[in-house]
Chains A and B, each alone.
Chain A
Amino acid sequence: MKSRLYAGVATLALISGGAMAQDLIVEPGTDGFNWESFEEFAAAHDFSGETLTITGPWTGEDGRMVNNVMAYFEEATGASVEYSGSDSFEQDIVIAIQAGSAPNLAVFPQPGLAADMAARGALAPLGEETAEWMIENYAAGQSWVDLGTFPNPDGEEEMFGFFYKVDVKSLVWYSPDNFFDMGYEIPESMEELLELSQMIVDDGGTPWCIGLGSGAATGWPATDWVEDIMLRLHEPELYDQWITNELPFNSPEVVEAIETYGTFVRSEGWAAGGPEASATTDFRDSPAGLFQFPPDCYMHKQASFIPTFFPDGSEYGVDYDFFYFPSFDERDLGDPVMGAGTQFAITNDSPAARGLIEFFKTPIAHEVWMAQSGFLTPHEGVNLDTFSSDAFRAMNEILLDATVFRFDASDVMPGEIGAGAFWTGMVDFTTQGDAQAVADAIQARWDAMR
């Protein structure tokens, strides 16, 4: 009996040992990938025997993909990387930092949270050199640097966050079959999109599937709508002022954006199930309407990650496709793109942690994830052929072609607004429809914070 137990333990140790050693998913030397950058990096860095701990918000499949990328860092430097993803990363990292058990690096999905940590002195600055590198090598580099730059405890601005992995949010998903059957065309401007929506209603269909439900974060999909519309109604400068509250939340410009979102969700027959159903439908279940026969709706606006929740076996270009959420022709504001992204910040300084940031400057660190799934990058030195699917290549082109790029405003606003009042306010607006009252209430919360 005892020996059997030991055998069990030994097997277990073997299994877990096997899980540790990562295979390289792309054989070094494979065509199209930038192996020179990999070898150069490997020659310049050696962290044998060092362990690097990272925590982040990627779990499950995403967690396995980031581990696949880290395998190349391990291969190049001899360090061992322990990545652990958490469903409640935002809370966990604060506890870990307060208790003094912070990992080497943390992956922040919200700049607001990273800024809080920087102000507490929990993050190590990345230095001038990295900022300059990013300005030169990332598309719209300065805006990425700005998004990763926060005041340190002394109030001086320094760059703390290195953006790696970006999502594009200004996308509308649809089923090409359904569009073809009904003879609908891809709208090139917001005016056409509004016309198309009305046309679908007149044909007896429902144009939009909107779902705001997301557990404790219910309401965030609506904030994306308002932000995207804000960028299409007004200059990006106003958008920036809105984030810092220089432009009050209840100013006519913001209320106009909220009301335009109201046109989509509250117009009679525009949103599947009506506004009440939109407010409660889970955002993960919401796109299912596109794939019903006959379809519950024809269009769904959501970020680049949403195909994960499409029915199993759905194929890009056949079962679903997307177009850019268009801008108003008459406003002449160019083609703005709203997105989000994750940034790496050093929470516990070590040479290996610095080394990982250096690793992210190499094209290969990006290409390895591009070859998997769900990864977009503003890095200009990567080979776009390494994308695993045309869908991601097309999305990355939207990102690189943007005349204006702005980060998801609710992620940059102070947490109490961007991850609180704005979310709940949007749910209230969706069900009740009084934009001015909702905007006033959010501004009152903002005033109360000072």
Chain B
Amino acid sequence: MDNIAGQNQGNRVLVNITMLVLVLLWLLPSIGLFVSSFRDRDQIANSGWWMSPFTVDLNFRARSSSDDMVEQNGIFVIEGNVFTDPSVAGRFPDGEGTIGAFGPTARDLDAFAPGETAEMPRGGTLTVEADGSYRIEHDEPFARGPAIFFQALTPPAFTLDNYRTVLFADGMDRAFINTLTVAIPATIIPILIAAFAAYALAWMDFPGRGLLIAAVVGLLVVPLQLALVPLLNLHTSIGIGQSFLGIWLAHTGFGLPLAVYLLRNYMVGLPRDIIEGAKVDGATDFQIFVRIILPLSFPALASFAIFQFLWTWNDLLVAKVFLPSGSASQVMTVKIADDLLGSRGGDWGILATAAFVSIAVPLVVFFTMQRYLVRGLLAGSVK
């Protein structure tokens, strides 16, 4: 018995470790994205996000300025401190640091220890102390201040600039409201229609019901991209054009097959006795639907609402096609892709930040309705 129990325990540890590894693996991209959202473009280009929490030796260049040049006993001297250079201010905000090594050219950047004196390629000598103060001497005046290359221990640096850019971008509030204007009706309308349809398909007897259900299931596999142009054509010809009404209709149409299918399968699993009892008592179909079916189907309704809301919230394609292209009707996804990222994209920091900002509302929706989702996912699968 002991043996078996031990085996079980071993198994459980193994299972737990496997689970932990899987979860970490699963979360890794999100963590990377999250860390990147606090880094600026240059940092992202220069080192991996996994290096960001550590103090590392990084290479920098500071430029001396010929404006600081003074003549002392016939030699020309420039003095200053590398850490006060504006180009490194981002990493040494208080203008202090510790030099690990330095050099007069980018290639021999770690050739000299602090306090040593280096010959410079354009003539003259360079001395850098550990605290970053430097002294350049030459017997001829400098046309341009020479560059100083150095290695310094750099503390980790994070910035909220990306969040500032994304949250306070011109028109972001408008885009947020636009997204809500699209997502809320585009969630409610299909649920309303689908609930009625699902009841009819589940509990009302009429010829061709089976075929109709088959048709709805068939529509599930039609990709919506197929319908974009014909649908927009239709909208233009009946005078809706590109508008919020148009996109509500489009989202409704694209969402309905799944909604009808999901709700019908759930409703069909409700106990027949209740519905028949109600019928015997003289309830009409509408009364049965409103008084009995709807309250009982709440988990399925809620889980579909979450699906549809997430999908319309994140949608870029449908919004681009069915909404006018002006900034007055941009939704958040379009605003981020077309305005914040610029013509050639590549601002990963902004992209990562935008992802986390736009995730916020769906997360709230998800967690408030999550308990229904768990129940609702089983909708129609077991009786």
Contacts and interface: CB of A to CB of B under 8 A. Distances in A.
A88 interface: yes
Interface string A190-207: 000000000000000100
A98 B121 contact: no
Interface range, A side: 35 or more
B174 A284 contact: no
Given A85-B343, A293-B149, A312 B233 contact: no
A101 B232 contact: yes
Interface in B230-247: 232-233, 235-237, 241-242
A62 interface: yes
Interface string B50-84: 00000000011101000000000000000000000
A294 B345 CA distance: 27
Contacts of B121: 180-181
A101 B337 contact: no
Interface string B162-186: 0000000011011001000000000
Contacts of B177: 12
Given A288-B46, A293-B59, A99 B346 contact: no
Interface residues of B, number: 49
Contacts of A88: 320
Interface string B308-346: 000000000000110001111000000001111111111
Contact of B327 (A19, A58, A101, A284): A19
Give chain A's interface secondary structure class: mixed
Interface in A310-361: 311-313, 318
Given A85-B338, A86-B320, A305-B344, A101 B236 contact: yes
29 contacts: A16-B174, A19-B170, A58-B343, A59-B338, A59-B343, A60-B338, A63-B343, A85-B338, A85-B339, A87-B337, A87-B345, A88-B320, A99-B233, A99-B236, A101-B242, A177-B147, A180-B121, A180-B122, A181-B121, A205-B107, A284-B344, A285-B346, A288-B45, A293-B106, A294-B106, A305-B344, A308-B342, A312-B40, A313-B87
A309 B342 contact: no
A128 interface: no
B233 A12 contact: no
A227 to B, nearest CB: 19
Contact of A82 (B229, B320, B326): B326
A282 interface: yes
Given A181-B105, A181-B121, A311-B42, A292 B340 contact: no
A82 B45 CA distance: 35
A92 interface: yes
A101 B324 CA distance: 9
Contacts of A85: 338-339, 343
A86 B147 CA distance: 42
Contacts of A431: none
Interface string A405-433: 00000000000000000000000000000
A311 B320 CA distance: 32
Interface string A82-112: 1011111000100100111101000000000
A295 interface: yes
B106 A284 contact: no
Contacts of B235: 99
Given A16-B328, A313-B87, A98 B233 contact: yes
Contacts of B233: 98-100
